[in-house]
A and B are shown apart, each in its own frame.
Chain A
């Protein structure tokens, strides 16, 4: 199944009721999948909006009504949604936003890239807010993390971003769906559906009293601390005896894994650490790694963004090298193997005979 289509199917099985999209390569198959499979589903609706700005605000409206809702786009379109995401975060409205990212900046390229890391993890919109950011590295994980995204969004009343890329989206791989679509579409208890039998309610953040807004920020950040404690996830691969650990996420991690297997065959003790939640970022786990490994190599398909979080985690305890290819260039495993091998020898790391 196409990665993009797997997201659509997983969303439907997670009880997604409303999808609002807009055409942009390389995520069109997702919008088309929803046009085919969600639009005629009982109680569901699909709208192709007039712009990504409108689409995210339609998501806001649907989330107000308490339903599970999603939008998807690619890098330039995600930039247009940032204001809306800030409003969702501020009003504690859950939603899933899928970014099948492509080369940037500007109109960029339509090939896969990871240059939206900052935008996703630091929040591209205004105000102090965070969004959960999940980074799949396979079509199976695209499906699993889509389901998890809806659950996390509802659990913490927070927008969740799935940071995929053009390669994952366009790739075909076998997928196994672990859930069936719910018989009844889920509706949240705090849905805004008319003041029948209860006092009217207002969903807003605008206030003339800064202390009100301050308290809102404090309450959001108490929740972010909880998410950091509960929901940080990552994958480790042969790090126990690794002299050198490659830190990579998403499709870059897949490429690195291929290189690491070959390096191991050549006696180089290399491992990999793959953050799955880019926010909350696994700072402690990477910090612990520095007790066992000698050197870290951050490998990304951008000019170096996640490396800043890795530096925050390592706090100078170990040396960190970087290898990156921006602009939608997709490095090959052998290319990464060469980088690993040269670095390994340069640093005089222990070789297994």
Chain B
């Protein structure tokens, strides 16, 4: 019997602090699988956000540096401009990237910064206890929308990927989910393509990943995975949103696949 599935090399042996059924740790594994397969563990620098996944640096065995809430894209810009050889990625939640960090995200994309943003959309602020996020669905209950998100008072879920896609500097944007084996595999492919766009020096890449948050949605893990499928994907359709890597491919030989 041959071992066909093991823990990725660049995933530290630490136990995850995440809740049972959380999507973060799956995404951590996918990231490290991509780092191993693309052999870039020693070139990658990650910028985790303040949020549940701030502790990503305890799990991802790559250089990482904290950023202030919402400022990941700016920190990544400064780092990449100072040292272009690094492969810089931000790992941000929906509040971090689409609320307080909206300006940083849109302008980093607009400048076509050669960075990759891993955008975890779980429709709430997880670490702080389940408050409304920009991506909270209409009528969805959170600790700050106890009566359900009322569009007249709290507006609508923000489709950040579609918004960023309008910005010319963004070359590759895809929305995936980690709520089923097939979607998990697609997420890995998308992460890989995003890093490839950075390696090929084509522009800004963003992967939005719908991720279950059982604790704050007050569901058991399996229900939360199904809720992503049945509810979230209605508001946030999965799939490729933008891919102009072929046109932009400065090398002309290969496209970014």
Contact = CB atoms under 8 A, between A and B. Distances in A.
Nearest to B61: A200
Interface string A36-75: 0000000001010111011101111111111101000000
A172 interface: no
Interface string A179-211: 000000000000111111100111111100000
Contacts of A62: 78-79, 81-82
Given A65-B79, A84-B71, A49 B63 contact: no
Nearest to B43: A194
Given A194-B43, A195-B42, A200-B62, A64 B71 contact: no
Interface string B142-169: 0000000000000000000000000000
Tell me what chain A mostly uses at the interface: helix, strand, loop, or mixed: mixed
A336 B230 CA distance: 75
A151 interface: no
Most buried by A among B57, B76, B82, B83: B82
B79 A61 contact: yes
B124 to A, nearest CB: 20
Given A69-B78, A204-B66, A206-B50, A197 B42 contact: yes
Given A47-B111, A50-B103, A192-B65, A60 B75 contact: yes
A194 B81 contact: no
B82 A194 contact: no
A67 to B, nearest CB: 4
Given A49-B74, A57-B74, A194-B44, A18 B62 contact: no
Interface of B: 41-45, 47, 50, 54, 57, 60-68, 71, 74-83, 85-87, 103-104, 106-107, 111
Given A59-B78, A193-B45, A193-B86, 19 more contacts: A17-B82, A47-B81, A47-B111, A50-B104, A55-B74, A57-B104, A60-B78, A61-B77, A61-B80, A61-B81, A62-B82, A87-B66, A193-B83, A194-B43, A194-B87, A195-B62, A202-B64, A202-B66, A204-B57
